[in-house]
Amino acid sequence: MGNQGYHVAVVGATGAVGQQMVKKLEERNFPVKKLTLLASSRSKGKELVFKGEKIIVEEAKPESFSGVDIALFSAGGAISKTLAGEAVKRGAVVIDNTSAFRMDPDVPLVVPEVNEEDLKDHKGIIANPNCSTIQLVVALQPIRKAFGLKRVIVSTYQAVSGAGAQAVREMVEQTKAVLAGERPQAEILPVRSAEKHYPIAFNAIPQIDVFQDNGFTFEEMKMINETRKIMHFPELKIAATCVRIPAERGHSESVYFEVESDRATEAEIRSVLAGSPGVLLQDDRAGQIYPMPYFASGKDEVFVGRIRRDLDVANGFHMWVVSDNLLKGAALNSIQIAESLIRNQWL
């Protein structure tokens, strides 16, 4: 760490996303003057390595944020609600990866490739969108710009790491149990605090987060509402079905969309996406090239493929979108927000 740069705090540093944040800060050579790692009292005393230096994890408290310039929160909505204001009060800008503030009209909800300008008006807290939303809008925004957008229907295939490192450990244990002919135990998915838990090993669970009165889950409503907010597109017709599958890292999305323009073709959509920031086109039928979570794991890009015209509906198309939910879906996007704040002097 140098004298130049910023005092950065990572809240939830030992979690699945927090660890990726620390890794990405190093990998991207983020201008870190000092790195403070915070977590719940349970993780206090653990050590993480940043640029070859061991850093001891401290318990997150209001006073932990004294002197902090940028606080990256990813320790659950309850901790964000308790501590984000405390961090702002002490002069930090908070980039929050929970759903606590996302729909707050005073809080920008930002994917830099889509609505970087919204960062300008922040009041101390910036929200990082839900993982499944981020990769969707990165793919949809260039299509909207080029051809207009009327309608989106998405079905997700979400990886277990989206539910945290413990959920991944549980999937591994369940998988071993099933392979050994034993009954898998489930205590985390679909929602830790819910009454019932189901194994994810060799299964698919069509519930992510809790049910809302309208029959959609909160995860599905996050995708719907956050997409509209990020794209400044409240009238967009968008529906989501969110499903957990036994992948470790990398969310996949089967996306149907209708564009306004009658001139859109598969080739033009491909060409628009190929030149779009954050997108990597993987779409070659003859070569069997399409995105897959196993191969997107550990990568920064939003991978798009299987682009094809609907056979019945004019201006209707289908595509398949995959991205690492811990990176572009979480840690990377948070750090890209911080980088944008610095680059644009909006900190």
Q: For a copy of itself, which is the closer residue by CB, 12 or 250?
A: 250
Residue 268 found at the interface with a copy of itself (CB under 8 A): no
Is residue 265 a known part of a binding site?
Answer: no
Size of the residue set binding a copy of itself (CB under 8 A): 61
277 near a copy of itself, rule: CB under 8 A? no
Q: Which of 108, 112, 305, 329 forms a contact with a copy of itself (CB under 8 A)?
A: 305
18 is an interface residue for a copy of itself by CB under 8 A: no
Q: Among 56, 179, 274, 314, which residue interacts with a copy of itself (rule: CB under 8 A)? A: 179
Binding span for a copy of itself by CB under 8 A among 45-53, 116-124, 137-145, 194-202 = 194-202
Task: Report the alpha-carbon distance of residue 158 to residue 293 in Å, rounded.
Answer: 9
Residue 344, C-beta contacts closer than 8 angstroms, at least 6 positions apart: 116, 119, 120
Question: Taking the CB of residue 216, how many other CB atoms lie within 10 A of it?
Answer: 18
Q: Is 291 annotated as a binding residue?
A: no
Query: Which residue of 81, 192, 211, 265 would you call a contact of a copy of itself, by CB under 8 A?
Result: 211
- How far apart CA 96 and CA 102 sit, in angstroms, is 9
**Smaller CB distance to a copy of itself: residue 37 or 243?**
243
Determine the angle formed by the axes of helices 218-230 and 131-147, rounding to 10 degrees: 40
Dist CA 258 CA 238 (whole Å)? 11
Site string for a copy of itself, 136-175 (x = CB under 8 A): ---------------x-x-x-x--------------x--x
Which span (15-23, 116-124, 128-136, 312-320) binds a copy of itself, by CB under 8 A? 312-320
314 binds a copy of itself (CB under 8 A): no
Q: State which residue, 156 or 340, has the beta carbon closest to a copy of itself.
A: 156
Task: State the nearest-atom distance from the C-beta of 43 to a copy of itself, in Å.
Answer: 25
Structure tokens given for 232? 């400044």
Which residues have a Cβ under 8 Å from the Cβ of 299 and sit 6 or more positions away? 280, 323, 324, 327
Checking DSSP bridges between strand 125-127 and strand 32-39, what pairing results, if any?
unpaired
Given 49, 78, 274, 313, the residue binding a copy of itself (CB under 8 A): 313
Q: Which is nearer to a copy of itself, 69 or 209 (CB)?
A: 209
- Is 251 tagged catalytic? yes
Determine which one of 131, 197, 242, 318 is catalytic.
Answer: 131
343 annotated as a binding-site residue: no
> How far is the C-alpha of 327 from the C-alpha of 158, rounded, in Å?
14
Rounded CA gap, 112 and 119, in Å?
A: 9
CA 97 centroid distance within chain: 8
105's CB contacts (< 8 A; 6+ apart) are none
Angle at 273 between CA 268 and CA 278, to 5 degrees: 170
Cβ 245 to a copy of itself shortest distance, Å: 5
Under the binding rule (CB under 8 A), the answer on residue 185 touching a copy of itself is no
The position carrying tokens 């794991």 is 297
- Residue 26 corresponds to which tokens in the numbers above? 């190093």
Q: Is 306 in the site for a copy of itself (CB under 8 A)?
A: yes
Beta-bridge partner residues of 312: none
What's the distance, CA 35 to chain centroid? 22
CA distance 237 to 304: 21
Q: Is 316 annotated as a binding residue?
A: no
Neighbours of 103 (CB within 10 A): 15
Amino acid making up residue 54: K
**Does 14 appear as a known binding residue?**
yes
- Binding site for phosphate, residues? 102
- Binding site for substrate, residues? 158, 244
Q: Which residues bind a copy of itself (CB under 8 A)?
A: 151, 153, 155, 157, 172, 175-176, 179, 190, 194-196, 198-199, 201-207, 211, 214-216, 224, 237-239, 241, 243, 245-248, 252, 254, 256, 266, 285-288, 290-295, 305-313, 316, 318, 320
Residues acting as catalytic residues: 131, 251
